[in-house]
């Protein structure tokens, strides 16, 4: 079946840029998402990108999609301590939630 992979941990210094990477296997992925989960909380949708796009920028967040390599990345500029969280990559081939496939999440630690 479809699979989404992410590295489990990432540490960066405050003020640096963070890059969280994700790879997926489903070639029919149409929608790709990034979610943020703060400790003890639910998942918050950060941003998403359609498969016909290469890049999407939203303030400090930049999403890059390499569809040929099935590689998605999330870059956070000027990383702050409040960015410490688990970041989940997810893909879906349609609009239906039951077809979402989530990665295991990357725990981002921001060091002072």
CA–CA separation, 10 and 1 (whole Å): 27
User: Is-contact 105 22, C-beta < 8 A?
Assistant: no
Measured from the CB atom, the residue of 26 and 48 that comes closer to another protein is: 48
Residue 105 interacting with another protein (CB under 8 A): yes
Q: Rule CB under 8 A: choose which of 65, 79, 87, 103 binds another protein.
A: 103
Residue 94 interacting with another protein (CB under 8 A): yes
Binding to another protein, residues 14-33 (CB under 8 A): 31, 33
Q: Rule CB under 8 A: choose which of 25, 44, 57, 66 binds another protein.
A: 44
CA–CA separation, 73 and 98 (whole Å): 23
Residue 82 interacting with another protein (CB under 8 A): no
Contact footprint for another protein (CB under 8 A): 4, 8, 31, 33, 35, 40-45, 48, 88, 90, 92, 94-98, 100, 102-105
């Amino acid at each position: 079946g479809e699979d989404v992979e992410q590295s489990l941990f990432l540490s960066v210094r405050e003020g640096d840029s963070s890059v969280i990477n994700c790879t997926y296997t489903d070639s029919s992925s149409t929608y790709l998402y990034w979610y943020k989960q703060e400790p003890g909380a639910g998942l918050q949708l950060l941003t998403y990108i359609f498969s016909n796009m290469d890049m999407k920028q939203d303030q400090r967040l930049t999403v890059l999609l390499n569809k040929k390599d099935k590689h998605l990345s999330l870059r956070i500029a000027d990383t702050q301590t409040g960015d410490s969280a688990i970041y989940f990559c997810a893909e879906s081939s349609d609009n239906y939630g039951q077809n979402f496939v989530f990665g295991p999440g990357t725990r981002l630690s921001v060091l002072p």
